[in-house]
Structures are given as C-alpha cells and as structure tokens.
Amino acid sequence: MNFEFPKRLITLLFSLILLFFSAALAEETSDPWFCLNCGQEASGDACPVCGEFRDFWACASCGTSNLSPVCRNCGKTKDESLALQAADSHPFTAYPAIRRLAAAGDSAALFRLGRYYEKGIAVTQDTDQALSCFRRSGKAGNIDAWIYLGRLYDAGVLVEQDYSMAMECYQKALTLGSAEACWYIGSFYEEGSGVEQDYKMAMEYYRMAADRGDADAWMSLAYCYLCGNGVPEDQAAALGYYEKAAEAGSAAACDYLGYLYMSGSLVAQDTEKGLSWYRKAAELGNARSMYALGYAYQSGQGVASDIEEALRWYEKAALAGYRNAYVVWKTFK
C-alpha cells in the first residue's frame, strides 16, 4: 500500500496549522507598545532601537531582568516595578515607564508625559502633544492637570492668554474637589480677571479653599481684611488669618509673620517671635526666611553675631533659589 499521499497531506495540514498560529501570534504582537528599556514605540516582538523583547522589564527594586510578570529575584510584580520606575527622580530613568503607563491611560503618567513634551526631555519638544497629554490627563480625573492647564491659560504660556479658558479649567478641578482651584477662582474675582471684580465672591471662594485645607487661602483672606477689600478694614482680623495660615502650614505666612514681628508692623516689635517665625518658614523651605536668618546672624539682630552661622543660612537660601543670598555668600567667601 502507498502511504505517500496521506503523509504529504498530514505534512500540508501541519504546515497550515503552524501558519495559522504564526499569523495569530503576529497579529497579537503587532499592536504598538512602548519599550521599558528605552521608551521607543514599537510593534512586533522586539524594540527596533535597543532590541529588547516586548515582555522585557528590569525590576526597579533589584535591577533583575525579567520576561515573566513577577521578578524572579525579589518577587516584585511588573506593575509594582512600573510604579517605582515611573517615580524615579531621574527623568530619563522614569521616562520608559511613564510612556508605558500613559499609553494605558494612567492620568498621573499622562500629566508627567505632558511635562516631558513641554520641556523637550527625552522627546522632541512639542507643545501640541504636551497640551493633548494635559487634557487627556484631566479628563481621566487628574486635578493637577486641570490646575496646570488653568495656569497656562492664565499666564499665556504655551497658549494665548485666555481667562475664560483658565476659569473653565479651574472649574473642572473644583468639580474634582480641588481646594487650590477655589483659590484661583477667588483670585479671578478679586482681580477682575475675565470676570467682573467682586470682592465678596472672591472671599467666598477663599473661605471655601481654606475650609478644604488650602493654607494660603487664609493669606488671601487676611489681605482682604488688611486692605478692606469686600469687608471693613480690620488689622486684628488680618493678623488672626495670617496666624491661621501659618498654623495650617503656609511657609509664606510664617515668613510674613516673621517680618511683621521683626519690623513692628501690625504688632508690637518682638525680635524673638520674629526669628521663631522665620525659623518655621525656613523649615518649610522658604528661601527668603533663610536669607533673613542669615542677615540676623550677620548683624547680631536678636542673636549673637556669628558669621559662620550667617554663611550657613545664606548658602541654604541660595540653594533654595534666593539669588541675593548667593551674592552675599560669594562676597563673604
């Protein structure tokens, strides 16, 4: 009996099956993806730039290279590693994970990717892409994205200045529960930016922001009482609001209270209290207060004169971005 024909038929059928599965696999892996090694967009099984496999990932916790969804060394999952990598302080290390997470619709990653496009970090600078990422992030529920877009329209950065668009963005952030958005809307009413000036409306939004935990909103309320904007002028009430802002963690309020007590404005001069408020502000990162402490030690204002301690504070202020402090530090050094 001749078995040649059945053998050929079986071989042909087997080849067709292999072809079918190969086609199915190719279709499955042809979807675009972002390489976790270099951030390049790719399709197929390997990155065209660095050659790494589609499923490759290096554990952000221990550095082990993996293909499986769980690290074979430390047990971290791929998702956990992605989150760690995206949070890395070095932008080029974080970038591939941010691209991957943004492609999956992660709102925080979309916002950060927008900043990459805005600054041209790891990608070609592209304003349209940046704005698109910010809007997609906001629509996905990211408050920071709406606030940032509002600030861009408010200042006319990347886009034409448009107070109505800025207000719309702040309103969207407010809908999501943002205390900061309340403050921005209040400032629009106080200044008459894109809306009719209305101090009472401004104070209403400032109070709303303060009630939601925005420390600097107390500062704005204090200023309204200090200047009599929408309320009778009341310096005692203003001082009370500055203190509320400081107690709520406002570095600017602590700094301003330091100035008030050091200068004797609104309150009786009290150098000890002034320096205490300056120290609190400095601990919260306020560069101007760091500079003020440097001057106090340089001049012996409320403390024993100590040039070394003065230089230490001037250096801290300079590193925190206060340019005058660098000039003074450099002069003494």
Q: What is the pLDDT of residues 50-92, one digit of tens each?
A: 999 999 999 999 999 999 999 999 999 999 999 999 999 999 9
Element (H, E) at 276: helix 271-283
CB neighbours of residue 44 within 10 Å:
13
Q: Nearest Cα to 180, choosing from 146, 135, 228?
A: 146
This prediction's pTM: 0.80
φ, ψ dihedrals at 53, nearest 5°: -70, 155
Please check whether residue 256 is in contact with residue 243, taking contact to mean a CB–CB distance below 8 angstroms. no
Q: What is the pLDDT along the chain (333 residues), one digit of tens a residue?
A: 454 545 555 554 554 554 444 444 444 445 889 999 999 899 899 999 999 999 999 999 999 999 999 999 999 999 999 999 999 999 999 999 999 999 999 999 999 999 999 999 999 999 999 999 999 999 999 999 999 999 999 999 999 999 999 999 999 999 999 999 999 999 999 999 999 999 999 999 999 999 998 998 999 999 999 999 989 999 999 999 999 999 999 999 999 999 999 999 989 999 999 999 999 999 999 999 999 999 999 999 999 999 999 999 999 999 999 999 989 888 877
CB neighbours of residue 149 within 10 Å:
26
Q: Give percent helix, percent strand, percent coil of the chain, each to the nearest 5.
A: 65, 5, 30
**Cα separations (Å) of 67 from 28, 58, 74, 79?**
17, 9, 14, 13
How far apart are alpha carbons 53 and 47 in whole angstroms? 6
User: Superfamily for 107-177?
Assistant: Tetratricopeptide repeat domain (1.25.40.10)
Q: Nearest Cα to 177, choosing from 146, 220, 203, 221?
A: 146
**62: its two tokens:** 């221990």
Find where tokens 């930016």 sit. 193
CATH architecture for segment(s) 267-333 = Alpha Horseshoe (1.25)
Q: Where in the chain is the domain with CATH 1.25.40.10?
A: 107-177, 179-249, 267-333
The per-residue pLDDT for 26 is: 43
**108: its two tokens:** 């925080």
- Average pLDDT across the chain, whole number: 91
The per-residue pLDDT for 291 is: 96
Tell me the H-state helices in 37-88: 78-86
How far apart are alpha carbons 27 and 19 in whole angstroms? 12
The per-residue pLDDT for 31 is: 82
Tell me the H-state helices in 140-250: 143-155, 163-175, 179-191, 199-211, 215-227, 235-247
**Which pLDDT tens digit goes with each residue over 130-143?**
999 999 999 999 99
Please check whether residue 188 is in contact with residue 209, taking contact to mean a CB–CB distance below 8 angstroms. no
Radius of gyration of the chain (CA): 29
Start-to-end C-alpha separation, the chain = 103
What topology does CATH give the domain 179-249?
A: 1.25.40
